[in-house]
Structure 1
Amino acid sequence: MAYLSKIKDLLAQIKRYTIQQIPRKQNATTDELARLANSVVVDKANLVFIEYLDRSSINLLEPILQIDNTPFWMTPIASYLDHRILLNSHNESRKLIRKAARYLILDGVKYRRGFSMPLLRCVNQTESRRLFEEVDEGFCGNHAEGQSLSKKILGQGYFWTTMNEDSISHVRKCDNCLVYPTKIVSDNGIQFDSQLFIDFCTRHGITKSFSAVSHPQANGQVEAVNKTLKDTLKKHLEEAKKNWPERLPEVLWSYKTTERTTTGDTPFALIYGCEAMMPVEVTPQSHRRTAYDQDGNHKLLAESLDQIEERRKKSNIRLAAHQQKFAQYFNSRDKERKFDIGDLVLRRIFPEN
């Protein structure tokens, strides 16, 4: 990487240059040197002339490490846990003691005792920004809304006091999270045919369409069509629409690792009995990564698989309750009307679009 940076610096000083790729067959010596540099095998046959240098051929500047002086919300709690340092105010000190009971420090890493999982790693502002970049925009990102984003980060074993507020703020600043539709298809409810809603669609260039009256099964169910994968693909691809086959595995992975409101579980957990470990847990490391034990993990995974049927049944019960709740809501708006033979009714004519 140091030599690459040096080359880029030199190229920046040249107004015009051409990069030419040399085929491997015509560059055997360099190819052999590259393999030797990445292995411990010595070229005993002396097929390649090797020169050993006692110092680097380029001058490298010592990296300057910047000290982060950003206030950390865990500082008062950590000071009390480590050195029993209290605040100046008596009332604030009492609050600090009560709050510190839910926190602990293991090997220099600060954790909070959670309800959804035993330990949640406490992160600072810099680490939280990296979590947003990875969870929302990275390989497993799906540009979810604020509350879903904070729940996903919490499910990976991280915590800070303003994670809900920060998640909402991040979503508002992310262009891919704020994707507006170009066409809305709704049922024939009066709330979708009001002048206020028509003016809103006109101002934002949204085409308004209604479901067919001749197909009553569609009325009230159009909004229930699952467009999650399609919308996530649009957010990931942006302008490169032709690359959707390459991005599809990432979108599927983000969908499988996001908790569904209807079931209360992620699709991954309903299949394998546990939550997936995401790339974001590498840095900063979550507690389940630092305390990982392969033999113990295999045993717990086997036990989870034995009990997965019970977990799936509970998920189906939550799904049925969710559907029943929605059915009650929509049925409560229905008004019973009786018609006799010969009664006149108003026929509604829909536009062609």
Structure 2
Amino acid sequence: MDCELGEYDIEYKPRAAIKAQALTDFLIEMIQPMEKEVWRVFVNGASNLSGCGVGVVLIAPSEEKIKLALRIDSRVTNNEAKYEAVLAGLQAAQEVGASRVIIYSGSQLITQQIKGMYEANNEKMLKYLGLITARAASLTDWIIEQIPREENAEADTLAKVAASMSDISTREVLCFTQLLLSIDEEIPSIQKSAWMIPIIEYIIHEKLPEDRAQAAKIRKQAPRYGIPRRLISDNGRQFQGKKITSWWQEMKSIQSFTSVAYPQANGQSEVTNRIIVQALKARLYGKDKNWVEELSSILWAYRTTPRSSTQETPYSLVYGSEAVLPVEIGQSSIRIESYPSNNDQSRAIELDLVEEKRDQAAIRVEAYRSRVMKSYNKRVWPRNFQVGDLVMKKIAGR
């Protein structure tokens, strides 16, 4: 097949300038308004014999996850726990600054009641619906959807862990505790017991009773319930300086240093510091940078461990009773089960007897010192000298 080529002229012309209005029309036509970012929130609540727990998983538009576990120290039903989960999810979304939110819950009853498809006849459910409407008012747009339980596994696991008070080893989960239900607007006020009134009057108004013995007792008890008026420390440089001095002045407290004439006071501080440092070294295994994270647990162990000299823990000598360990809350012990229900009266009795406990501890300390001295003196060979005996005198060189 034959092919014939023809000649075509190509003419080049410079491009004309684009008019401003044409460029504006192009931008309006091509650039679409960006939709606001949508946050997905998966929630679930669980209520069992161990307690009530709420699990929340927030997923950002960038697919980053924020996990929350909330324990509620109150008796609730399973439906109330799921309502608390929705409220916690809304509050968490507000805290991260989300404006458009989709909440996913596994409860058909809760989702349909919030949508208005099911009628809520219970008074508590009506309160929850009103509180959810009020809390979601700050959001631009939000909806709630029901999903199968398999798709809500993460939030379900967090809720069960929070309800059972199990330890959460990972730091990816933020743990919180809520004392009351969200619908309980009236928070019970703390009743002032008779033994608290004089102490409060002394801390706030510096008023003391006329009885000298009672006034002295209140002076000793007051530092346990407020900022100490005087703090005694050794002569270390960490306790000196302009910043710490100005801080003590702001706290209206007096800073005192132990005198060199009484070296045993400095020795007590150094012994305590040495014990804390040794415990930190045992926990860190060479990773010295993480000492701040381990310090709280070391101090807790030191304060709740009985001393051999006093046979009491430092915690009990300050507060009059032993500390309740976290494990005793999740797994009830004999001490917790036999503890009287009237806590205020029991605490008042313990505070009245704390001075007697301290006196007994002081007696044990003296007995411990005498035992140590007797044990030390067993290794000493006594030698008796008479007046006129010749002894060797050694003069130290300068």
Q: TM-score range by the shorter chain?
A: 0.3 to 0.5
CA radius of gyration, larger in:
2
Structure holding more strand per residue: 2
TM-score under structure 1 normalisation?
0.39
TM-score under structure 2 normalisation?
0.35
